[in-house]
Amino acid sequence: MGPLSFPAREDSKLEYSNPEIPEGINTSKTHPLKEFLWLTGGVMAAIFALVLILILFADVITSYIPFSVEQNITFSGVEASTEEGPLPEYLQSLADRIVRAEDLPEDMKITIHYLDDETVNAFATLGGHIFFFRGLLEKLPNENALAMLMAHEIAHIKHRHPIRSLGRGVIVGLALSVISTAAGDAIIESFLGKTGYLTILKYNRDMESQADETAIQALNSIYGHLGGADELFKILKEEAGRLEPPVFFSTHPLTENRLYEIKIHTEKHPAHDVTDITPLPQEFEKWVEEKEEEKTISL
Amino acid sequence: MIDLGVFLTLLALGYGFGRYAELKHYKSIIQREKELNILPAIAARTPPMISKACDCNLVTGNVVISVDYFKRFISVLRNIVGGRITSYETLIDRARREAILRMKQQAHEMGAKQVFNIKFETASIYKGKRQQVGSVEVLAYGTAIIPSQGG
Amino acid sequence: MMITNIEIVPGKRITKHMGLVQGSSVRAKHVGRDIMAGLKNIFGGELKGYTELLQDSREEAVKRMVAQAEAVGANAVLNVRFSTSSIAAGAAELFAYGTAVTLEDM
């Protein structure tokens, strides 16, 4: 920089003008909604694809985990719940019949547990353990419905759904949390989480449908018909009431669709008359009732 | 489900109000820029060397403009994909022009003929644990050249 | 006191340099304003509360710089610059600095 001296010339001839600058040079003309649609659509598609790949990846990994590893994962309190008595024995004998019908591998041992709770539910978990809640057992009208329920849960074990869901959950959850941390915003975190979750739900529904399909085949081979099996879904439908969420947000396929599947199969293999439907043992209700007084199992 | 509803509502509110505010702001900016066009704002460091005495005065104009939910959502998605964040381009453009206008307005009220050596200072304001509050401040300042009384 | 961000003032001559003078101000807005700002973050638009806050703080910073200049006996501050930095969540420092000089008419 030169010395701080004044320029020699007078600036009277210097003109300062102020022309207008046209709009839109520093800004983009893209309509924000268009941008929004492209971005959300693109990112959601990418997340769906990513989660799909991760799910396949998780399935490959979990398929290398032998069933015996699952069995070694013990739950505290689980052993205590397999007591002697007519109900566990009856349930176990039914389970054994279904195991044969579904053609489970030799090493897959099914253990039935009974939970003294109002919840209208049943679930299968790691290591071939299946849990039935009193709330659901109480409502079952015949053996066919119970067998449908049990065959469905055993089918989950057969297709190794519990360990696969666990693997998927861990791998997809990890990947999404890494991405959302990198993106670093609370909004995106929930957006990614939701998109990923919806994708997982889709595959959950596929698992349920697969279990239903196997169960239907098993029931057919045991009883020769599917009469009475639909009672199970009628109970579940009643339980869900009118509050069943839209299919995209649901862990299970719509009960309507499940009933429809059964109906189609029943038409192929109809029960000849009502007597074809196997009743539950006479004391079944009593067994379930009696259980109430016994200890509850803590998991 | 409820989450999704809240999210979509916020997005719609952000888009509706944000876009309305933006269009209104641009309209006002363009109009005021025309009005203040008589006052040149110049980035040159030194004023013309007139021998006549004149007054100099520092003039400033600042504005803090907030993002809206919609703009922010677009920007975080852009953060994943990369590329031009169009939703923030208009935000910062509005802030800069508004700051200049406020500075010019101040100079105009002093009776200035030009504003020299214009400088900008831009700061992003974030608040909250997860930076929930996001906005940008632009300060424009310069020296107003005011012809001396009777000069 | 003349405050300007140019280095040479038309029609005046610098007779003495007094070095750097500076003023700063650190402020935060009360939580009510922050809640309003949080709401504005959904709808967009100007955060008038923050605009005022920053303007007031800057004025204070300039006032402090002028006080320094007066203390050293200057009659003008040239080449004034502003600087903004956030020193903690919710607190901002506004800083003004310039050269203190004495000017006289040519």
* CATH for B34: 3.30.110.70
Instruction: Please tell me if residue C56 touches chain B, with a CB cutoff of 8 Å.
Output: no
Q: Where are the domains of chain C?
A: 2-105
Is A188 within 8 Å of B4 when comparing Cβ atoms?
no
ipTM field: 0.86
Q: What is the mean pLDDT of residues C33-53?
A: 82
* Residues A176-198 pLDDT 10s: 888 877 776 667 777 787 888 88
A40 φ/ψ sector (left φ>0, alpha ψ -120 to 50, else beta):
alpha
The number of C-beta contacts closer than 8 angstroms across A and B is 88
Q: Which pLDDT score, from 0 to 100, does residue B138 have?
A: 93
Which residues does C64 contact at the CB level (< 8 Å), separation at least 6?
C22, C23, C24, C25, C96
* Residues A221-273 pLDDT 10s: 888 887 777 888 888 777 776 566 666 767 777 777 787 777 777 777 666 55
Q: Is B146 helix (H, G, I), strand (E, B) or coil?
A: strand
Domain range for B28 = 2-147
Q: How many domains does chain B have?
A: 1
Query: Touching A: which chains, 3+ CB pairs < 8 A?
Result: B, C
Q: Is residue C42 scored above 90 in pLDDT?
A: no
Q: Look at chain C and count its residues.
A: 106
Is A35 within 8 Å of B114 when comparing Cβ atoms?
no
Q: Look at chain B and count its residues.
A: 151
Q: Which amino acid is at A246?
A: P
Smallest Cβ–Cβ distance between A42 and the set B81, B84, B93 belongs to: B81
Is A249 within 8 Å of B1 when comparing Cβ atoms?
yes
Instruction: Please tell me if residue B140 touches chain C, with a CB cutoff of 8 Å.
Output: no
Instruction: Please tell me if residue B22 touches chain C, with a CB cutoff of 8 Å.
Output: yes
* Residues A271-298 pLDDT 10s: 655 566 777 777 777 777 655 444 444 4
Q: Where are the domains of chain A?
A: 44-73+82-291
Note which residues in 10-29 of chain C have CB less than 8 A from chain B. 10-12
Q: Is residue A82 scored above 90 in pLDDT?
A: no
pLDDT category at C58 given cuts 50, 70, 90 is very high
Residues in chain B within 8 Å Cβ distance of C106 = 51
Pairing status of strand C12-27 against strand C91-105: antiparallel
Of A13, A14, A33, A36, which to mutate for an interface test with B (greatest number of B Cβ within 10 Å)? A36
Instruction: Please tell me if residue B52 touches chain A, with a CB cutoff of 8 Å.
Output: no
Q: Which long-range contacts (CB under 8 A, 24 or more apart) does A100-107 make?
A: A101/A151, A101/A217, A101/A218, A101/A219, A101/A221, A101/A222, A102/A151, A102/A154, A102/A155, A102/A158, A102/A214, A102/A217, A102/A218, A104/A154, A104/A157, A104/A158, A105/A67, A107/A66, A107/A67, A107/A68
Instruction: Please tell me if residue A4 touches chain C, with a CB cutoff of 8 Å.
Output: yes
Q: Which pLDDT score, from 0 to 100, does residue A21 have?
A: 84
Q: How far is CA C62 from CA A63, A137, B33, B96, B116, in A?
A: 71, 80, 28, 22, 19
Q: What is the mean pLDDT of residues C64-73?
A: 95
Query: Touching B: which chains, 3+ CB pairs < 8 A?
Result: A, C
Are B142 and B116 in contact by the 8 Å Cβ rule? The answer is yes
* Residues A9-26 pLDDT 10s: 455 567 777 788 888 888
Q: Which pLDDT score, from 0 to 100, does residue A116 have?
A: 77
Of A6, A185, A187, which to mutate for an interface test with C (greatest number of C Cβ within 10 Å)? A6
Give C42 to chain B, closest Cα distance, Å.
Answer: 4
Instruction: Please tell me if residue B61 touches chain C, with a CB cutoff of 8 Å.
Output: no
Residues in chain C within 8 Å Cβ distance of A4 = 7-8, 14
pLDDT category at C80 given cuts 50, 70, 90 is very high
Query: C2-105: CATH homologous superfamily?
Result: Hypothetical protein apc22750. Chain B (3.30.110.70)
Report which of A184, A220, A126 is spatially closest to residue B77, judged by C-alpha positions: A184
